[in-house]
Amino acid sequence: MNRLTIIVIVLLLAGGAVIFKLATYNPAAHETMIDMSDLSTWEPTTAQIRTQLDPGASALERKQHYGRLFRSRYRNKDMAVNLRVDKKGVFYLECAATIPTWDKALIAHQAWSEIRELFDEQPRVIIYESYIGTFSRRVGEARADTKNPSAPEVVFDTGWHLRRKPQPTDFLGRLPGS
């Protein structure tokens, strides 16, 4: 009888703890995903970036400054995103491998659209996945849509290694030409 009483008391306490936890659970308090539904409101915004770009600087310097401002927008939200540009004007978007592919697509879309608006050109944005301690791996590209050149098309191809021998451009250590 004594053992049965102890078991009932333990079960009642455990049940009470579970009911209390369910009653006080707030899913929003434990949200780990960042809301990326409207990237245009993240600071610095495109308008803020436009005012910070020096019109007297060379095109390459302006693009490099844009890359730093773009990076700061995502670093302010604790997202590992980097945007670099080489001497030919090709942009390299590096995202942490932990960022989901659909979010990388949103980021690449945003970068392509802003570069087109700020620099009045059809940019080429190559998307890389970065891993700590290794070279970044090429996973996709943002380019002008074939049907509508004023809109970006983001294409991912993570199966390149299954179809062909890896090329030097598949991994990003240093920027080409630097």
d(CA 87, CA 41): 30
Q: In sequence order, which residues have a C-beta less than 8 Å from that of residue 160 and are 6 or more positions away?
A: 138, 166, 170
Tell me: pLDDT of 165 over 70: no
pLDDT of residue 178: 47
Q: What percent of the chain has pLDDT over 90?
A: 49
